[in-house]
Amino acid sequence: MTRPLRLLKRVSGYLAVALMGFLVGVLLLYVWWVRSGPPVQAWHTVELAEDLTAEKADAVRTLADYRALEERVLQELDSKVFAVTPTGPEYSLVRYSPGSASDPRHRQPNWNRTFELGPKEAVGGVLLLHGMSDGPYSLRALGEALAARGYRVLGLRMPGHGTAPSGLRTVTWEAMAAATRLGMWHLSDALGGKPVHVMGYSTGAALALDYALNALAGTDAPIPASLVLVSPAIGITRLAALTPWVERLSRLPGLEQLAWTANMPEFDPFNYNSFSVNASVQVHRMTRSVASRIRALAATDPIAGFPPTLLLLTTVDATVSPDAVVDQLLKHLAPEGHELMLYDINRFAIKSPLLVADPGPLTERLMGDKTLPFAVTLIANETPQSRSVTARFKPPFSPEASRFEPLNLAWPDDTMSLSHVDLPFPPDDPLYGRYPPEARGQVFLGQLAIRGERGLLKIPAQWLLRLRHNPFYDYQERRVLEWIERASGRGNPIPPRGPADQSRREFGRE
């Protein structure tokens, strides 16, 4: 071996040792940072054996079987978590403290259970699929509107949800897909061939796509009459693929906190604030599976015969990738009536130099691209000098919008954009709305204006800043109802809400 080669080998060895030392140092710093955070609680570690798993799926054949299993897991939660959680003033906002303002068992109904709405003689069915860490409450308002139009609505509680965050440590997307199949079979049998639609929120949208792909391939039935996807999780960060080893480390004594990417106080009655490493892994596995199957189907030609799909999305989303909705789904579908309804940011509010990133490139790309095989409706400022908004409709393969609809709505003066978590909630939502309801004694997590010194609140400031209701919900609800009516072959017009209705929505009071 020549001297230069020996020197190169020695330098490579030094670099390898240095890199290994650096990685070990980073790992130790990460472990120290995680362990310096809040300790895990009983609801992070409890094992609830009664919930659905992929292994149990063959034995759970009907929705009645699933709901019986659900009742057992909720009873298990009562005995293993609620029964051992203290009560008193300091626990008044703890979800698992019996009788607290956040105790979901004292709300009627308890939206942590699977629910079914609508008449027995329904015109069709709609399956509602919530997202990871979420619950059936998230699509409640849209479900109630559909039930009022004569649809049988089934809001599923996904396995691992509606109980304790510990469920996110063991849940798999295969178990969630098994629950989705049960829901579709139930509605199909109950409705005797009438159209059944699927509405999915966030990860629930990925479940809806997975089911639709299976149905098109002939491995599931029925094929959905249409899909409505809200803030759909189609593409997420690749870093989620690197987290399984963190989950394994969390099983070592003293490293339980490593199992959580977010460990927050649990004060929301219908949604987990904590988020597990395993949940990130499952979302990544699901979205990767769906995206790869879509690419394979569209390898030679756009996918024909796909259920008519309406996507509701905000142009800024810190949880999912808005670009992936276009590039990994919509651009692969044949031009058969699919549509993206996109909320722009409040252009009137971004004149301040404090704005960090303007998502204009995505908006401009969609509204100026004449090759897109789907329609786009953009909800945006009428002009940059006005808070009033219009709906701009751009047909497929068109270089520009061809129709403008004034909505008689405006951006609230304290709102810069919508968020991943607000689209399905109206301004009068009693939990996440703009103003607290008249009824007292229950937690309200909507528009909170709290000021003071940093570090005082247990709730992270970023949580407080995120908008949790949709000021344009009425228009969105009308579009969703029209979409499902049209896909059901009914085509009944949905009248816009009058000024009195909009006032009640805005102020959350009758």
The answer to whether position 20 is within a domain reads no
| The two structure tokens encoding residue 184 | 């579709």
The string of DSSP letters for 141-155 reads HHHHHHHHTTEEEEE
d(CA 17, CA 159): 45
pLDDT score, position 254? 57
Residue 127 lies in a domain: yes
Q: How far apart are CA 262 and CA 275, in angstroms?
A: 5
Q: Residue 488 is part of which domain span?
A: 27-419+473-507
Answer yes or no: pTM beyond 0.85.
yes
What CATH number does residue 113 fall under?
A: 3.40.50.1820
Which helix (H) or strand (E) segment is 200 a member of?
strand 196-201
How many angstroms separate the Cα of 275 from the Cα of each of 161, 178, 483? 12, 22, 33
Domain membership flag for residue 313: yes
pLDDT value of position 237: 55
Does 9 reside within a domain?
A: no
- Residue 320 has a pLDDT of 84
How far from 13 is each of 6, 292, 435, CA to CA, in Å? 11, 39, 63
Is 144 within the bounds of a domain?
Answer: yes
* 427, part of any domain: no
CA distances from 426 to 63, 342, 474 (A): 29, 17, 7
Q: Is residue 61 part of a domain?
A: yes
- CA dist 426 and 420 (Å) reads 14
β-pairing, 275-276 with 309-314? unpaired
Question: How many domains in the chain?
Answer: 1
Residue 14 lies in a domain: no
pLDDT digits (tens), the chain, 510 positions:
566 666 666 666 656 666 665 555 544 555 544 544 567 899 999 999 999 999 999 999 999 999 999 999 999 999 999 999 999 999 998 999 999 999 999 888 999 999 999 998 999 999 999 999 999 999 999 999 999 999 999 999 999 999 999 999 999 999 999 999 999 999 999 999 899 999 999 999 999 999 999 999 999 889 999 999 999 999 765 555 555 555 555 565 556 667 788 888 999 999 999 999 899 889 999 999 999 999 999 999 999 999 999 999 999 888 888 889 999 999 999 999 999 999 998 888 766 555 556 666 778 889 989 999 999 999 999 998 889 999 999 999 999 999 999 999 999 988 888 888 899 999 999 999 988 877 777 888 887 666 666 655 666 666 667 788 999 999 999 999 999 999 998 876 666 765 545 544 553 333
Q: What is the pLDDT of residue 143?
A: 97
